[in-house]
């Protein structure tokens, strides 16, 4: 068994069958695989882990995704919107604490008031941090003009998760209408790449109706799309969503966690030079979840610097960790966690995707 894994650890091109096999590994074989990837990835990327200070500044959303706790139809969600001053202060905190980068995330909106507000915020953050703070945004589907405007205003990385790259499964977890169009999502990713963003996407792992083959296809989708970064994690059900009725069809929560680590490790083998985030959802299942992700392939971690009063309301899933910590607490905690994982923090570094620069050079 370990001989087969050794062959795959050193194979130049992994097939769908190879990936599906690696994702299904358990027990000693799985440990052997994860350790092998951990050792290999340090040789490629080194031990540095990059911080992205995460600001979840609004949970108002125009989408109605079947899995999400802040979906438009959830009338029990406590809606909030953090004002511009608090967002800029969070950016200053990230800058002063040498994070290197910031992530702005919110529910999906594309109205003019929202898009203009983001442009203004990006310019202000760039100004107050003297252009030294990298900015990632995760604000959903927008027009090409809006993406370009935000890029020109200072954002240089964009995360737009696909959640499932399999069209049929996509429509089992989203309404099938113009607001939730699979092709539009993919076209937005292509537009982001065309403009010049470091472009990221991601999926949920352990959805109802999902197989190892589906997840293997997700990994191959990341490669075929030539993405620069990936954020993915275990599916955790939320009681106020339509998908909750399928809770009995889910893999056990520990299996979802284990396969998520297998996914991170397999993706690191498949795309050695991209950025992979250690998702917060991992810690919702295992107190050491994010450290384990860092050991086995992830190289980005996101301290939550959203004002504490609002964190509990940005509930994409239930049992979200760290909702009662302040920004200082979260930073100190994660610093220790990174060290425990045998990694070191790249302070004051944007931590850009090496894959992005290779992709750009090939265009020239």
Q: What is the CATH number of the domain that holds 67?
A: 3.20.20.70
| Cβ neighbours for 257, distance < 8 A, ≥ 6 positions apart | 234, 282, 285, 286, 289
The pLDDT-based confidence of 317 (bands split at 50, 70, 90) is very low
Q: What is the pLDDT of residue 2?
A: 83
* Residue 56 belongs to some domain of the structure: yes
| Residue range(s) defining the domain that contains residue 243 | 43-363
Res 316 pLDDT > 90: no
The pLDDT-based confidence of 57 (bands split at 50, 70, 90) is very high
Average pLDDT score over residue span 275-299: 93
Which range among 12-16, 94-98, 155-159, 360-364 shows the weakest confidence by mean pLDDT? 360-364
What is the C-alpha separation between 345 and 129, in angstroms, rounded?
20
Res 152 pLDDT > 50: yes
* Residue 30 belongs to some domain of the structure: no
What is the C-alpha separation between 166 and 217, in angstroms, rounded?
8
Res 14 pLDDT > 50: yes
Q: What is the pLDDT of residue 337?
A: 81
Q: What is the pLDDT of residue 311?
A: 46
* Residue 347 belongs to some domain of the structure: yes
| Cβ neighbours for 170, distance < 8 A, ≥ 6 positions apart | 162, 163, 164, 182, 185
* Residue 14 belongs to some domain of the structure: no
* Residue 22 belongs to some domain of the structure: no
What does the mean pLDDT of the chain come to?
92
Which range among 37-41, 101-105, 200-204 shows the weakest confidence by mean pLDDT? 37-41
Helix (H, G, I), strand (E, B), or coil: what is residue 358?
helix
Residue 300 contacts residue 276 (beta carbons within 8 Å):
yes
Q: What is the pLDDT of residue 323?
A: 46
Q: What is the pLDDT of residue 318?
A: 57
- Burial call 223-262: b when 16+ CB within 10 Å, e when fewer: eebbbbbbbbbbbbbbebbebeebeeebbebeebbbbbbb
What is the C-alpha separation between 364 and 355, in angstroms, rounded?
15
Res 329 pLDDT > 70: no
Q: What is the pLDDT of residue 128?
A: 98
Q: What is the pLDDT of residue 332?
A: 67
* Residue 225 belongs to some domain of the structure: yes
* Residue 231 belongs to some domain of the structure: yes
* Residue 216 belongs to some domain of the structure: yes
What is the C-alpha separation between 136 and 157, in angstroms, rounded?
4
The number of distinct structural domains making up the chain is: 1
| Cβ neighbours for 27, distance < 8 A, ≥ 6 positions apart | none
238-283 pLDDT, tens digit per residue, is 999 999 999 999 999 999 999 999 999 999 999 999 999 999 899 8
> Parallel, antiparallel, or unpaired for β 204-205 and 198-201?
unpaired
Spatial strand order of the sheet with 53-58 comes to 53-58, 101-106, 134-138, 157-159, 198-201, 229-230, 275-276
């Amino acid at each position: 068994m370990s001989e087969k894994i050794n062959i795959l650890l050193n194979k130049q091109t992994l097939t769908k069958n190879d990936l599906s096999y690696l994702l299904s590994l358990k027990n000693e074989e799985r440990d052997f695989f994860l350790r092998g990837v951990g050792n290999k990835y340090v040789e490629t990327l080194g031990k540095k882990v990059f911080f992205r200070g995460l600001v979840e500044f609004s949970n108002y959303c125009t989408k109605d995704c079947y899995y999400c706790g802040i979906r438009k139809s959830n009338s029990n969600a406590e809606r909030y919107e953090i004002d511009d001053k608090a967002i800029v202060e969070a950016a200053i905190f990230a800058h002063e604490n040498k994070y290197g980068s910031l992530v702005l995330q919110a529910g999906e909106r594309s109205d003019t008031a929202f898009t203009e507000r983001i442009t203004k915020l990006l310019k202000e953050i760039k100004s107050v941090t003297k252009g030294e703070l990298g900015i990632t945004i995760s604000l959903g589907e927008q027009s090409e003009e809006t993406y370009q405007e935000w890029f020109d205003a200072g954002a240089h990385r964009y995360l737009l998760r696909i959640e499932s790259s399999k069209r049929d499964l996509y429509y089992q977890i989203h309404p099938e209408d113009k607001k939730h169009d699979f092709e539009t999502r993919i076209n937005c990713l292509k537009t982001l790449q065309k403009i010049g963003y470091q472009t990221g996407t991601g999926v949920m792992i352990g959805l109802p109706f999902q197989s190892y083959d589906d997840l293997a296809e997700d990994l191959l989708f990341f490669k075929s799309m030539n993405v620069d970064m990936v954020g993915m994690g275990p599916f955790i059900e939320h009681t106020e969503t339509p998908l909750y009725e399928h809770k009995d069809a889910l893999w056990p929560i520990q299996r979802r966690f284990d396969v998520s680590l297998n996914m991170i490790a397999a993706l690191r083998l498949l795309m050695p030079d991209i950025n992979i985030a250690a998702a917060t959802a991992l810690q919702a299942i295992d107190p050491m979840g994010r450290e384990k992700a860092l050991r086995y392939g992830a190289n980005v971690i996101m301290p939550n610097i959203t004002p504490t009063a609002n964190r509990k309301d940005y509930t994409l899933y239930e049992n979200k960790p760290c909702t009662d910590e302040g920004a200082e607490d979260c930073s100190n905690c994660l610093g220790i966690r990174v060290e425990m994982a045998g990694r070191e923090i790249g302070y004051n570094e944007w931590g850009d995707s090496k894959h992005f620069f290779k992709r750009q050079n090939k265009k020239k």
